Structure 1
């Protein structure tokens, strides 16, 4: 029974995510989700009680995987800037290729039209980035005058904007190429002894190959 309920919730979540990506929150109805998922409207209300609750579940699902991703790169042997770059590629891949993550990003952007408090990723992200920048400062790798907590907020907001607005950017470049260019620009200001290309190459070599 629990396995069936879990499968139903997953099917509803994924169907809702597909529709939220394509049509947005306002353009998606409970009946649309029912038709797409093959589940009844009653099943939606039983598991999530409202469209708002289902949207919140999509956003929380988007954010829930990122702490696990960060834990994969917790090794003290990896320099902090390399960790930051590797993690950014993992999150960017999620935001570009995973429908639930894409839906979560769109729902956050449309949060003012949702009658519920939509959680934000920025506080947790900024804290993690602050810690990495502080570690880089301790190692003498952070540029003088860069304050970790203030820089972290700027980095997180700029990164999230780059990822979520990527479809609307001119040029049609692959998201990996866009992120490469972004890091080459950003690292010139972050590194104590700037060598962005070499650092980016070292970090990119640590990124696991896609199956």
Structure 2
């Protein structure tokens, strides 16, 4: 019975996520979600109480996506800057392809309309990127003129700025191409011995993250 309830809850969550992404928080009602999911409003209220709790659940799932993905890259044998770049492409694909991640991004942008305490955003990304850049500094990959914490804020800001623009222009359809071009620019400043094209080619060959760890271990 619990397994069935979890399955139903996830189904409702994904149906709501599709609508929140397409129509926004204010433009989506419980009745809309009921019609999209084929479940009654009562079933939705049973699992989520109200629309605010449903939005909060999507945001929590959005944030829960990242620790496992980050851990896969952190634990690989790749050089730190390759970990960072590879991770960024995986995150970009999640924002483009995962309905819950996409919905979480839109809900966060519309957070003022949601009458519920929401999880903090971006802070974890600053910490993760700072850690990777510190690793790069220790291994001699990072330009010695770069302060890892300061550079991390610039990288994270540029990454999410790219997502905002890509979403507005084409629904993130070309996000990977845009991210490739962004890294060509950023790596010229970040690398101690700049060769952005070669690093990006290594990351391209090693994606997704399981092959990434294997390729780097064999290098």
2:194 & 2:98 partners in 1: Cα distance? 33
Shifted more, 110-119 versus 126-135: the winner is 110-119
What's 2:53 paired with? 53
1:161 & 1:133 partners in 2: Cα distance? 20
* RMSD value, Cα: 1.7
What's 1:106 paired with? 106
1:179 & 1:118 partners in 2: Cα distance? 28
Question: How much does 1:173 deviate?
Answer: 6.8
What's 2:195 paired with? 195
1:185 & 1:193 partners in 2: Cα distance? 14
Q: TM-score, normalised by structure 1?
A: 0.92
What stretches of structure 1 move > 4 A for 4+ residues in a row? none
| 1:95 corresponds to 2:122 | no
Structure 1 residues 127 and 94, CA gap change in structure 2 (3 angstroms): same
Gaps of 5+ in 2: 210-219
1:19 & 1:73 partners in 2: Cα distance? 32
Question: How much does 1:189 deviate?
Answer: 1.2
What's 2:154 paired with? 154
| Equivalent residue pairs, number | 208
What's 1:180 paired with? 180
Question: How much does 1:185 deviate?
Answer: 0.6
What's 1:38 paired with? 38
CA displacement, residues 89-112 of structure 1 (integer Å, 9 cap, x when unaligned):
110000011111110000011111
Cα contact 2:80–2:135 (8 A) shared by 1:
yes
Q: TM-score, normalised by structure 2?
A: 0.89
Cα contact 1:122–1:157 (8 A) shared by 2:
no
Question: How much does 1:121 deviate?
Answer: 3.2
Cα contact 1:62–1:101 (8 A) shared by 2:
yes
What's 1:13 paired with? 13
Q: 1:73 is paired with a residue of what secondary structure?
A: helix
Question: How much does 1:120 deviate?
Answer: 3.0
- Structure number with the higher helix fraction is 2
2:164 & 2:63 partners in 1: Cα distance? 14
Cα contact 1:166–1:175 (8 A) shared by 2:
yes
Q: 2:73 is paired with a residue of what secondary structure?
A: coil
Gaps of 5+ in 1: none
Question: How much does 1:127 deviate?
Answer: 0.7
1:116 & 1:165 partners in 2: Cα distance? 27
2:55 & 2:173 partners in 1: Cα distance? 30
1:110 & 1:130 partners in 2: Cα distance? 28
1:85 & 1:77 partners in 2: Cα distance? 14
